């Protein structure tokens, strides 16, 4: 049985975190996430994140350290979030409904409102801690 690994980018700039609003599937549409996608065979996590953020945001990123929380919502699915910074390009919502730069309070408010993709909620404490020191 093959398992699916998803990498998601925690992109920081100017003291804020970039989040993206999903357009699909219907049960996730309108909710905010760290942008990313599935690691393809032969790719490292870092390769996959660079490719996904190029495809989804049209930016080049440099990849940093992963968050410590690995999300395993069910057997065969694992999500890893990795810190990244934009090297070139201005992010555009190529596949998402919208993009937003948030500070710690914005992120907490979105979570309290039930507007964060369920799998990504586990990363919020670590993201908030990072934002507080950005
Ligand atoms: N996912 C998530 N949180 C994220 C990113 C993804 O919970 N921050 C989930 C949603 C999907 C799965 O991971 O169930 C794969 O995400 P995408 O659809 O964004 O990934 P791809 O772009 O690789 O998939 P596809 O090309 O199939 O649309």
State the complex-level ipTM. 0.94
Residue to probe by mutation, ligand 1, list 25, 97, 119, most atoms within 8 Å of CB = 119
Task: Tell me the whole-structure pTM to 2 decimals.
Answer: 0.96
Question: Which residue is closest in CA terms to ligand 1's atom 15?
Answer: 37
**Percent of residues, the chain, with pLDDT higher than 70:** 99
Per-residue pLDDT of 39-83, as tens digits, reads 999 999 999 999 999 999 999 999 999 999 999 999 999 999 999
Contact of 87 with 54, CB cutoff 8 Å: no
Contact of 82 with 66, CB cutoff 8 Å: yes
């Amino acid at each position: 049985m093959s398992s699916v690994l998803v990498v998601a980018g925690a992109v920081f700039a100017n003291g804020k975190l970039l989040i993206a609003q999903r357009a699909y599937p219907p049960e996730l549409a309108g909710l905010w996430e760290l942008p990313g996608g599935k690691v393809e065979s032969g790719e490292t996590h870092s390769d996959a994140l660079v490719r996904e953020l190029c495809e989804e945001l049209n930016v080049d990123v440099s990849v940093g350290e992963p968050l410590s929380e690995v999300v395993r919502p069910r057997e065969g699915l694992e999500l890893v979030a990795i810190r990244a910074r934009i090297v070139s390009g201005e992010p555009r919502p190529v596949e998402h409904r919208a993009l937003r730069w948030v500070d710690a309070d914005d992120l907490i408010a979105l979570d309290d409102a039930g507007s964060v993709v369920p799998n990504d909620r586990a990363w919020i404490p670590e993201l908030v801690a990072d934002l507080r020191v950005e």
